Amino acid sequence: MPNDTCRRGGKSRRGAATPPGAFVTAAAADARPGRRPDPAPGSGTLSGLLLGTHVYTSDGVLPVEFLMPGDRLITRDAGARELRSIRYRHIPLAPVQVDRGALGCNSPGAPLLLLPTQPVLLRGARAQALSGRSCIPLPAAAFIDGRQIRQAPQTDDHILFRLDLGGGHILYADGVEVLCAPLAPSRLHDPAQPREPA
């Protein structure tokens, strides 16, 4: 799992020094400010990024667990978009494991774990073979080949992060184009906002 060292001067991206070799834990990821527990999803397709996934931002490539509201994420379809909120939840999961370069040159740039239902924008020969089209969004499970892309064993406590960019956009996750679906309004109370009178 990546540590919280900044590319600038050995400091944490958020200002605090991080000891060499220190790694974030699931509990520490939960405790970071600006995020809220994610209620159980509705009937739509579940999408999001798993702990350890690297996301392209205007500050560089950052692990998803270190993103905060106000960060600007790089999208394929709309340039830099402000991250409005982050939701997380613990889920049992058998993720899709994608080896480095399995989807093309440096795509992904490092081994990547994806939700089986996560829509990925697939291009080139693999997209042509699966759909007859040069570019198509498909769930990650659709292009398992048993070699470079395979189902990983199930474990009980993956952390899923869902990002609110104010609409559906295509993000870069370790160099892979993934769809960040729009989030339904949360019914959880945000402590930063005053409650409406009963």
Specify the pTM. 0.71
What is the per-residue pLDDT across 12-27, written as a single tens digit (0 to 9) for each? 454 433 333 333 444 4
- Per residue in 96-138, pLDDT (tens digit) is 999 999 988 888 999 999 999 999 988 777 777 777 877 788 8
The number of beta carbons lying within 10 Å of the beta carbon of residue 112 is 28
148 close to 1: Cβ distance less than 8 angstroms: no
Check whether 39 has a pLDDT greater than 80.
Answer: no
Cβ 130 vs Cβ 141: under 8 Å: no
- The three-class DSSP label of residue 156 is strand
DSSP letter (8 states) at residue 16: S
User: What pLDDT, on a 0 to 100 scale, did the predictor assign at position 45?
Assistant: 67
Output the average pLDDT for the chain.
Answer: 76
The 10 Å Cβ neighbour count of residue 105 is 7
Q: What is the pLDDT of residues 45-76, one digit of tens each?
A: 678 999 999 999 999 999 999 999 999 999 99
3-class state of residue 182 by DSSP: coil
Instruction: Output the 3-class SS for 52-113.
Output: CCEEEECCEEEEHHHCCCCCEEEECCCEEEECCEEEEEEEEECCEEECCCCCCCCCCCCCEE
Statement: residue 36 has pLDDT above 90? no
183 by Cβ neighbours in 10 Å (0-12 / 13-18 / 19+) ranks as buried
What Cα–Cα distance (Å) separates residue 96 from each residue in 112, 145, 184? Answer: 8, 11, 25
Q: Are 95 and 113 in contact (CB under 8 A)?
A: yes
Give residue-wise pLDDT tens across range 153-193: 999 889 999 999 998 999 999 999 999 888 765 443 333 34
Burial 16-36 (b: 16+ CB within 10 A, else e): eebeeeeebeeeebeebeebe
State the Cα–Cα distance between residues 143 and 122, nearest whole angstrom: 9
Using CA atoms, how far residue 86 sits from 22, 129, 196, in Å, is 24, 35, 22
pLDDT range class, residue 4, cuts 50, 70, 90: very low
How far apart CA 166 and CA 81 sit, in angstroms, is: 9
DSSP classification of residue 174: T
